[in-house]
């Protein structure tokens, strides 16, 4: 018999867990909203590729728990920058699966060990530049989560102040130039490494690059249809070189959309 755990309990416990943090902090509020959106997108992607009910539930659960480490990261370090604090994916996975937090959301009596392992693996690798070689199912759930996360990052970047996302001022964002390494990543059609992002505007450009690495057809469809990518690309800089680069990106994204 397939073990199906209680979605409503997961949501209740997530709400109770995050209530221990300062919801007035825009970083905390951002991650609460992001979590629900990523879980919904994981479910949508899972359904689009014909997964069964159990696997859809696994994908949704990955979304609900993928950023659990972010809340304690913000509380302790005041930043989302892993390089200035902790690797949030590893930190969250350790909280869940080494320190026992997962049991708060799903009892071990309600879920098979193999499914726990799938959820843990997806959470651990979701923020890596490249996922390691894994089995077919592990890779699938990791890609579902990573696609959903990338899609919602586009929304977050249009609805949240740069101070709360990038730890930079609007002034820095509007005056900075795109670095050559980040330009190269965009033109080569892949994500930019975090270590290559050296200016404020690099972070915004780096998030546009996420679209190149979406795995599933529905993910690309959502990314283009939801409109947030277009809003990001409408960015107007006080730097003429940056404005020229954004015109170049808009043209490249239009070509990608048409494929």
Give residue-wise pLDDT tens across range 152-173.
999 999 998 877 777 788 899 9
pTM of the model: 0.94
Tell me which residue has tokens 């899609």: 151
Q: 175, 239 in Cβ contact below 8 A?
A: yes
- The residue ranges of every structural domain in the chain are 1-160, 169-259
HSE toward the beta carbon, residue 159, CA cutoff 13 A: 14
Give the C-alpha separation, 217 to 225, whole Å: 12
Reading the block at residue 251, the tokens are 């043209």
Give the C-alpha separation, 175 to 239, whole Å: 5
At residue 25, what are phi and psi to the nearest 5 degrees? Answer: -70, 120
HSE toward the beta carbon, residue 173, CA cutoff 13 A: 17
Based on its alpha-carbon atoms, the radius of gyration of the chain, rounded to whole angstroms, reads 18
CATH code 3.40.50.720 for 1-160: no
Ranges of residues in the chain with a pLDDT under 70 are 1-2
Q: 63, 38 in Cβ contact below 8 A?
A: yes
DSSP for residue 128 = S
Q: 65, 121 in Cβ contact below 8 A?
A: no
Helices (H) then strands (E): counts for the chain: 15, 0
Give the C-alpha separation, 256 to 211, whole Å: 9
| Percentage above 70 pLDDT, the chain | 99
pLDDT at position 162 is 78
Give the C-alpha separation, 147 to 135, whole Å: 18
pLDDT in tens, 80-117: 888 888 899 999 999 999 999 999 999 989 999 999 99
Segments in 160-216 forming alpha helices (H): 162-165, 170-175, 180-188, 200-209
């Amino acid at each position: 018999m397939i073990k199906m755990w209680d979605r409503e309990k997961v949501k209740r416990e997530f709400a109770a867990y995050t209530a221990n943090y300062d919801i007035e902090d825009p970083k905390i509020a951002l991650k609460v909203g992001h979590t629900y959106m990523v879980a919904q997108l994981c479910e949508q992607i899972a359904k689009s590729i014909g997964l069964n009910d159990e696997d859809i539930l696994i994908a949704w659960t990955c979304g609900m728990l993928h950023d659990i480490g972010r809340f304690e990261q913000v509380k302790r370090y005041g930043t989302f920058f892993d390089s200035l604090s902790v690797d949030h994916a590893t930190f969250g996975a350790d909280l869940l699966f080494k320190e026992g937090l997962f049991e708060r959301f799903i009892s071990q009596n309600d879920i098979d060990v193999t499914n726990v392992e799938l959820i843990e693996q997806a959470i651990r690798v979701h923020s890596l530049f490249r996922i390691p070689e894994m089995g077919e199912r592990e890779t699938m759930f990791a890609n579902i989560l990573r696609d959903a996360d990338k899609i919602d990052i586009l929304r977050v970047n249009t609805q949240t102040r740069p101070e709360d996302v990038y730890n930079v001022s609007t002034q820095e964002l509007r005056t900075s130039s795109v670095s050559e390494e980040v330009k190269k990543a965009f033109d080569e059609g892949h994500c930019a490494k975090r270590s290559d992002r050296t200016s404020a505007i690099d972070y915004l450009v780096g998030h546009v690059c996420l679209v190149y690495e979406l795995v599933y057809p529905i993910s690309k469809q959502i990314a283009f249809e939801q409109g947030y990518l277009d809003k990001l690309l409408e960015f107007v800089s006080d730097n003429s070189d940056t404005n020229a680069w954004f015109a170049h990106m808009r043209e490249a994204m239009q070509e990608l959309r048409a494929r």
